[in-house]
Amino acid sequence: MTTQFDLSGLKLRIQLLTDECGVREDYTQEFLEESDSELDASTPDFRIVGGGDSNDEWEPWLKIYYIEIVTKDKGKKIGRFGLRSVRAQARTVVEHENLPYRLIASERGGSDLEHFGTALFNEANRGRLRDEFLSGPTVGTGVFGEELNRGSFAFISGDGQFAKDDFFIKPEFQGQGIGSWALQELKRHRILYNINFLFVEPGVTDITYQQRNDAALVKSKHARVERFFRKAGFRRVGTSSYLGYSLKDDKHPSRNLAMEDDCEPLYEI
């Protein structure tokens, strides 16, 4: 039986990973811890999520957060997800170094940022958005363009296997708007202050090894995840597998595109 939840009784517990051992700075006030074996067992291996030098000495442009959805009264864990914040200084071009170069070379960013950097940006062209997303048959709806070459951005993690910081809601609490609530709270949170865009690559993580061979099931689950993010205002960048959300510009073209008018990726699941 599904437990009905009062969303006003929830909050986000946001922690900043500050070194390779997973030392975290808590961004949540008055958090009351309650043991939860199911989610505790899936807590990230911080040697993978936050590996690298302490105090962001070598990568001052990157911040990594681990976020839990918890109840206000007892701190019961309902869900979790990770977030990587990339400051505009990562775009600085110094000889061969630029945005995609830094995302690929990062010891802390993980495969999510590495793949994001190579898929959308051209290392050979000063790290700018790839031309195929600006014109031609792969431009998609065209709601994203040159503005992605400027400013800071954040990326919602999707690693449910190793880092275990994918967007996850416990099964008994799914379908009650908790995930949508969490996204709206995240958009308003101070950790996204001065962040221009929020990105995600929708993917299926709540699936067993045996189920991966069921193409119809995988496609159905993937479509459900995409609908979830599209309902939250995310729209596709070109015909890539990535969806973006404009945090600062309410008049950005992507904010005015109906979800049913968004395009599909060039290569579908």
User: What is the DSSP pairing of strand 77-86 with strand 235-236?
Assistant: unpaired
**Cβ contacts of 175 within 8 Å, gap of 6 or more:** 2
Is residue 97 in a domain?
Answer: no
Q: Which of 117-121, 175-179, 206-210 has the lowest mean pLDDT?
A: 206-210
Is residue 133 in a domain?
Answer: no
pLDDT of residue 32: 36
- DSSP character for 66? E
Q: Does the pLDDT value for residue 263 go beyond 50?
A: yes
Q: Residue 69 sits in which domain range?
A: 7-88+152-261
Q: Which of 26-40, 55-69, 224-238 has the lowest mean pLDDT?
A: 26-40
Interval 169-179 mean pLDDT: 93
Is residue 114 in a domain?
Answer: no
pLDDT of residue 4: 67
**Number of compact structural domains in the chain:** 1
Tens digit of pLDDT for each residue in 219-237? 888 889 999 999 999 999 9
End-to-end CA distance of the chain: 32
Is residue 34 in a domain?
Answer: yes
The pTM score is 0.85
Interval 238-254 mean pLDDT: 97
Tens digit of pLDDT for each residue in 134-158? 999 999 999 999 999 999 999 999 7
**Cβ contacts of 62 within 8 Å, gap of 6 or more:** 56, 84, 85, 86, 87, 90, 106, 108, 109
pLDDT of residue 177: 95
- Smallest CA-to-CA distance from 152 within 229, 230, 92, 232 is with 92
Q: Does the pLDDT value for residue 268 go beyond 70?
A: no
Is residue 211 in a domain?
Answer: yes
Interval 198-214 mean pLDDT: 81
Is residue 168 in a domain?
Answer: yes
pLDDT of residue 24: 56
Distance separating alpha carbons of residues 244 and 143, to the nearest angstrom = 10
pLDDT of residue 47: 36
pLDDT of residue 25: 57
Q: What is the CATH number of the domain that holds 36?
A: 3.40.630.30
**pLDDT range class, residue 186, cuts 50, 70, 90:** very high
Is residue 197 in a domain?
Answer: yes
- Smallest CA-to-CA distance from 21 within 65, 54, 43 is with 54
pLDDT of residue 78: 94
- Smallest CA-to-CA distance from 81 within 70, 68, 63, 62 is with 68
Distance separating alpha carbons of residues 133 and 125, to the nearest angstrom = 14
Is residue 244 in a domain?
Answer: yes
